[in-house]
Amino acid sequence: EIRLSDALDRVKPSATIAVTTKANELKREGHDVIGLGAGEPDFDTPDNIKEAAIKAIRDGKTKYTPADGMPELKEAICAKFSRENGLTYKPGQIHIAPGGKPVIYNAFLATLNPGDEVIIPAPYWVSYPDMVLLASGEPVAVQCGPDVNYKLTPEALEAAITPKTKWLLLNSPSNPTGAAYTKAELRALADVLLRHPHVWILTDDMYEHLVYDGFEYWTIAQVEPGLYDRTLTVNGVSKAYAMTGWRIGYAGGPEKLIGAMRKVISQTTSNPCSISQWASVEALNGPQDFLPERRAVYQQRRDMVVEGLNDTPGLTCPTPEGAFYVYPSCAGVIGKTSPSGKVIENDEVFAAELLEQEKVAVVFGAAFGLAPAFRVSYATSTEALQEALKRIHRFCSNLS
Ligand code: PLP
């Protein structure tokens, strides 16, 4: 039998992918499952982007590109950073990889040595700690509960920094809570970071365009230019442009770091798909008017879901600023018993029973490092959400 690597022993499979797989299995068996587990837009990729990809194929743009992305897309990304974030990057400061996920992993592979710590506010996107562990670093989770609106406070940041801290990871709006940092909140974090020049900042801005109630989006290097030289600003087309399957993510950062990440990608995946890169040029340079339209739909759904969950016995759900997730606490149902006789000991049992009894798939909070809670993705049709809310309400009402 093959002996697997010790590195693999440090990580676990993605809980969100596991939930989606389980829900799809039940669906195939003929069950009427509502999946609120997946983290992807239900909208289609806009037609102009699809056409750009088709044209790229017809034009024979089907060969290798430079390993960390082609010049035309790097130019489009530089223009995006300048236009939307007031950040000036040269093409040589841009890294493009097959998704935001590998961008982040490449950054960790390029920088982490054993013992290096990465501060990760919890709840966090499931992949952060495991990517750090795979790259030989030490994830340091900092609990940021509903009492602080799921956001890292300057005091908690200050307390978490040690001489071994390599990175602070910020994700705004957040997966799984939807919480987004205001300019003032970023300012306060920046003040702490200015006092600790050895700490680098990786900001994952993947959900930048999904903010509601007129929320004004800021990224940390824009708020404090003094941090520009040690910030990696990560973004991608997956969520905003409904392009999860195309696999394009990117980052802007200091040249030396980007050069190190280029070395990683040149010996691993090489370039992201050439056709997807051409599609992404169109996504970034083309019309952006569908963004506010989709935002309005997401906002309506968010409001409906927050209201429905707060009307459910045992659940409390804060109203987040962005993304397409909410993160209700289910502390009020822990210890109760379902009609099947199962005791809801924790949020993992809660999610499993909800799927079993009512065929609604959600992801349990412990997977994101803050329990008891669960994540609901509202990137699905209004009708499906209404039915899911009804079922969640019934499930919780039947607990005793
Ligand atoms: N960052 C966050 C916070 C995410 O939620 C996701 C996807 O779920 C990613 C990064 C990765 O995006 P991509 O699909 O482009 O790899």
Residue 137 tokens, joined: 């670093």
Task: Assess whether the C-beta atom of 39 lies below 6 angstroms from ligand 1.
Answer: yes
What is the average pLDDT across 214-231? 98
Q: Do domains 6-44+290-397 and 61-285 have the same CATH topology?
A: no
- Residue 133's pLDDT is 95
Q: What's the 79 CA to ligand 1 centre distance in angstroms?
A: 22
Q: Give pLDDT, residue 22.
A: 85
pTM: 0.96
Domain segments of the chain: what residues? 6-44+290-397, 61-285
Q: Is the distance from the beta carbon of residue 99 to the nearest atom of ligand 1 less than 6 Å?
A: yes
How far apart CA 125 and CA 356 sit, in angstroms, is 25
Q: Which pLDDT score is estimated for 18?
A: 79
- In short, whether 249's Cβ falls inside 6 Å of ligand 1 is yes
Pocket probe for ligand 1: among 128, 169, 170, 175, the residue whose CB has the most ligand atoms within 8 Å is: 175
Gap from CA of 376 to ligand 1 centroid (Å): 16
- Is pLDDT above 90 for 39? no
What mean pLDDT do residues 182-186 have?
Answer: 98
Task: Assign 278 a pLDDT band (cuts: 50, 70, 90).
Answer: very high
- CATH superfamily, domain 6-44+290-397, is Aspartate Aminotransferase, domain 1 (3.90.1150.10)
Q: In this predicted model, what pLDDT tens digit does every residue of 98-153 receive, in sequence order?
A: 999 999 999 999 999 999 999 999 999 999 999 999 999 999 999 999 899 999 99
Q: What mean pLDDT is predicted for residues 210-221?
A: 98
Q: Please give the distance, rounded to the nearest whole angstrom, from the Cα atom of residue 47 to the centre of ligand 1.
A: 22
pLDDT band at 21 (very low <50, low <70, confident <90, very high): confident
pLDDT per position as a tens digit, 296-308: 999 999 999 999 9
What is the number of the ligand 1 atom nearest to the C-alpha of 236? 15
- 241: its two tokens: 């442009």
Q: How do residues 150-161 score in pLDDT, each as one tens digit?
A: 999 999 999 999
Which residues lie closer than 8 Å to 275 by C-beta, 6 or more apart? 53, 56, 57, 61, 62
How far from 239 is each of 126, 294, 354, CA to CA, in Å? 17, 11, 27
Interface ipTM: 0.99
Q: Residue 335: left (phi > 0), alpha (psi -120 to 50), or beta?
A: left
Does the CB atom of residue 236 touch ligand 1 within 6 A?
A: yes
Q: What is the pLDDT of residue 9?
A: 87
Give percent of the chain above pLDDT 90: 93
pLDDT per residue as tens digits for the range 366-399: 999 999 999 999 999 999 999 999 999 999 999 9
* Residue 351 pLDDT exceeds 80: yes
Kindly write down the DSSP assignment for every residue of 110-178, as one continuous string: HH--TT-EEEEEES--THHHHHHHHTT-EEEEEE--GGGTT---HHHHHHH--TTEEEEEEESS-TTT-
Residue-level pLDDT at 186: 98
Query: Residues with Cβ < 8 Å from 330, sequence gap 6 or more?
Result: 314, 315, 347, 350, 365, 372, 373, 374
Question: Which residues are CB-neighbours of 257 under 8 A, at least 6 positions away?
Answer: 107, 110, 111, 232
Find the 101 Cα to ligand 1 centroid distance in Å: 6
Residue 178's pLDDT band, with cuts at 50, 70 and 90, is very high
Q: What is the pLDDT of residues 43-66, one digit of tens each?
A: 999 999 999 999 999 999 999 999
What's the DSSP call for residue 367? G
What CATH number was assigned to the domain covering residues 61-285? 3.40.640.10
